[in-house]
Amino acid sequence: MINWEIVVQNFPFLVVGILMAIGVYTVTMKRNLIKIVIGVEIIESAVNLFLITLGYVEGAYAPIYTMAPKAAENNMVLPTPQALTLTAIVIGLAVTALMLALAINIYRHYGSLDVRVARRLRE
């Protein structure tokens, strides 16, 4: 049977899963180029959230020693996922900017943002 306590405890992981599903749905099923970019951004954000949730330690403090509360000594959340997520956020920004630039150019050439109109490269 489903253990509801685990469901509540792992709710952040469930949020990640649902956001991933929404993003994948948007990328595969939407026909507007800007919506596709939004879908990619949602998937990226979901994975960023996933990394941060992996690093969280119950009741721990941010991994910064400057003026931290006394209890923070030897009780910090895992720092590596935070470093990785910083990288991933910047990569996400880079991808978004380039995709939007391409979308603008496609609109200039085809007069539409619909993937079915903007499709000269058929099989």
Site for another protein in 43-82 (CB under 8 A): 43-45, 47-70, 72-74, 76-82
- Least Å distance, CB 14 to another protein, is 5
Query: Identity (one letter) of the amino acid at 74?
Result: N
Q: Name the minimum Å distance from CB 47 to another protein.
A: 5
Site string for another protein, 1-40 (x = CB under 8 A): -x--xxxxxxxxxxxxxxxxxxxxxxxxxxxxxxxxxxxx
> How far does Cα 64 stand from its chain's mean position?
24
Half-sphere exposure of 84 (CA within 13 A, CB side): 15
What one-letter code names the amino acid at 98?
A: L
**Would you count residue 108 as binding another protein (CB under 8 A)?**
yes
